[in-house]
Chain A
Amino acid sequence: NAGVTQTPKFQVLKTGQSMTLQCAQDMNHEYMSWYRQDPGMGLRLIHYSVGAGITDQGEVPNGYNVSRSTTEDFPLRLLSAAPSQTSVYFCASRPGQGASYEQYFGPGTRLTVT
């Protein structure tokens, strides 16, 4: 199994540009989520999904959109990038109800917005 994969690893955007960060998992996990990591802030939840077609907002959702059309994929869209969105983005997944709450993380995408 590849586990949780993310693309790209690095990205530089200009203010106002849009892009999609890709996340995929091959473990048939029901739950997927996106976090951002900023220095001194730990990881903060952006959006999460408990299954295909079901998404919800986390702690810092503004400026980001998500959708979940398949179990495997959970892309994160930046509609109009801002310098405040410069961060490292991690996707994570875990099995559904009844399983351990442990989450499995991807390797991350480092995004710089100029």
Chain B
Amino acid sequence: GDSVTQMEGPVTLSEEACLTINCTYTATGYPSLFWYVQYPGEGLQLLLKATKADDKGSNKGFEATYRKETTSFHLEKGSVQVSDSAVYFCALSDSGYALNFGKGTSLLVTP
């Protein structure tokens, strides 16, 4: 079945450091790919998405490119801020009915 694997955290970075969170997937079809973010005590918010190969999703300085050849959707940001501290989830949807999530990566950015 479909599955998502993302790097385990926690990840601790200093403010203005570069961020990469790795995400790879397994799917039988051509899924849509997502990154969701969960701030402390809150629900999940969509951060960015890509619906087909080579699409690049971007939002709030974060980017991820849908790489079909490597089945990857790595999240990147050039300069993180303290306010980016959160848990990040990679997810895919093949059927459209629901999402398959990775286990989440906790990010802590220190001043």
Interface residues of A (CB under 8 A from B): 31, 33, 35, 40-45, 48, 50, 56, 58, 90, 92, 94, 97, 100-108
Contact = CB atoms under 8 A, between A and B. Distances in A.
B45 interface: yes
B99 A31 contact: no
Interface residues of B, number: 21
Contacts of A105: 36, 43-45
B48 to A, nearest CB: 10
Contact of A108 (B4, B34, B43): B43
A59 to B, nearest CB: 9
Given A35-B101, A43-B99, A107-B43, 8 more contacts: A33-B98, A42-B102, A90-B43, A100-B49, A101-B99, A102-B32, A102-B34, A104-B46
11 contacts: A42-B101, A44-B101, A92-B98, A97-B96, A100-B32, A102-B46, A103-B46, A103-B99, A105-B36, A105-B45, A107-B43
Contacts of B46: 102-104
A48 to B, nearest CB: 5
B103 interface: yes
Contacts of B24: none
A41 B42 contact: no
Contact of B96 (A56, A90, A92, A101): A101
B89 interface: yes
B49 A43 contact: no
B32 A101 contact: yes
Contact of B89 (A31, A42, A48, A106): A42
Contacts of B96: 31, 94, 97, 101
B43 A106 contact: yes
Most buried by B among A40, A97, A101, A108: A101
Contact of B103 (A35, A41, A50, A108): A41
Contact of A42 (B32, B43, B49, B104): B104
B51 interface: yes
B47 to A, nearest CB: 11
Interface string B90-106: 00010011110111100
